[in-house]
Amino acid sequence: MATGPRTPILLALTAATMFGASVPFAQLLLGAIEPVMLAALLYIGGGSAVVAARLVRGKKTGESPLVRRDYPWVVGTMLAGGFLAPVLLMVSLASTPAATATLLLNAEAVATALIAAAFFGEVIGRRVGVAIGFITAAGVILSFDPDGHFGFSLGALGVVGACALWGLDNNFARHISSKDPFAIGTVKGLGAGLLSLPLALALGEAVPPLEVALPALLLGAVCYGVSMICFVLALRSLGAARTAGVFGLAPFIATGLALVIAPVVPGWQFFAALPLMAVGALLIAREEHAHEHVHERVTHAHRHRHDDLHHDHAHESGDGALVHAHVHTHEPVRHTHAHTPDIHHRHRH
């Protein structure tokens, strides 16, 4: 489906904003809910909201449904990003200084880009690489605590491992981003939540009373639910590295919202990180990538309409101008135009 040139960037920014917004509010809940239990409730809330949205939307969504060959990727993103990464992070935080952990968490965008380039053939390019570098540097500055204690240990390696798992999650999700994002969000949200819940109980964490659990479920519904859907839609057009680069703005957003919730004069880190974040986001938003490239013959299904260079096939019945999804074939073609690593441009150079 054709979108405006800035729509995918806005979707990625929305995903970052909603996830970033969850952080300061989740911190307010941590005193009453233990960490793994909180993660379970947030994902259950997010998955439940996606299910509710699917029921409201009905069956005719114009999206391509998940099929059997998609489920290994869906389960992979649920296990890597929704379950294993948060659990590994929680375990690692117990033996890692907070300053070290927050610095290392900025490795997610780098891990995503490296995995995308090395294993999935995604073209990064110098401009996007520099942009990710700016955003990562801003995150490092923003999380720097001059009075904190730093140290590298098995716990620190665990934090890096969690970032690598989120990098896998982003790339797995990119592989199925052409499919119904609400179906993906349902499996990831509910699956991750229902796996984390028994783990929390096994660790001796108590189920909070309803008046405490309900705000966590609502927070997950609003922030995690929206973030999951927008992230998949952004992946569809931007690819894993660029989407993760924009998503790297989440720590800055979280810090800004925290200042609104509890107004204080921000430290020098905030003002030092702001221009770096802005430059990184601007580089990705204004990227122009065009060269002669070849499309091999491919048959697939995804949401589209016939208003772009890649969907001029005929329909036996129905209106091809409407947004719809069906199995269709792209014949080989060689041409030149501006593009991103969307679902039709995942070629190597």
**pLDDT surpasses 80 at 262:** no
Residue with tokens 């973030």: 227
Question: CA-to-CA distance for 324 and 54, rounded, in angstroms?
Answer: 16
pTM of the model: 0.74
Lowest mean pLDDT, pick from 44-58, 95-109, 323-337: 323-337
**pLDDT surpasses 60 at 290:** no
Mean predicted confidence (pLDDT) in 201-221: 95
The pLDDT, as a whole number, for residue 279 is: 83
The pLDDT, as a whole number, for residue 46 is: 95
**pLDDT surpasses 90 at 97:** no
**Best CA proximity match to 218, nearest among 81, 20, 26:** 26
Give residue limits of the domains in the chain.
7-291, 292-338
Mean predicted confidence (pLDDT) in 196-202: 95
293's CB contacts (< 8 A; 6+ apart) are: 334, 335, 336, 339, 345, 347
Which among 141-150, 166-175, 247-256 has the top mean pLDDT?
A: 166-175
Q: pLDDT above 90 covers what percent of the chain?
A: 29
The pLDDT, as a whole number, for residue 3 is: 47
Question: CA-to-CA distance for 210 and 212, rounded, in angstroms?
Answer: 5
Lowest mean pLDDT, pick from 65-79, 225-239, 242-256, 288-302: 288-302
The pLDDT, as a whole number, for residue 47 is: 95
- Which has more confidence, 339 or 110? 110
**pLDDT surpasses 50 at 1:** no
Mean predicted confidence (pLDDT) in 200-215: 94
The pLDDT, as a whole number, for residue 193 is: 95
- Angle (deg, nearest 10), helices 225-247 and 181-202: 100
At 168-184, the pLDDT tens digits run 999 999 989 888 999 99
Mean predicted confidence (pLDDT) in 272-298: 68
**pLDDT surpasses 80 at 309:** no
Helices (H), the chain: 7-29, 35-57, 71-77, 85-93, 98-104, 107-119, 125-143, 154-175, 181-202, 210-219, 225-247, 250-261, 268-285
**pLDDT surpasses 80 at 328:** no
Question: CA-to-CA distance for 33 and 31, rounded, in angstroms?
Answer: 6
Is the Cβ–Cβ distance between 102 and 108 less than 8 Å?
Answer: no
**pLDDT surpasses 80 at 10:** yes
At 42-92, the pLDDT tens digits run 999 999 999 999 898 876 667 788 889 999 999 999 999 999 998 888 777
Is the Cβ–Cβ distance between 285 and 6 less than 8 Å?
Answer: yes
Is the Cβ–Cβ distance between 102 and 162 less than 8 Å?
Answer: no
- Which has more confidence, 103 or 259? 259
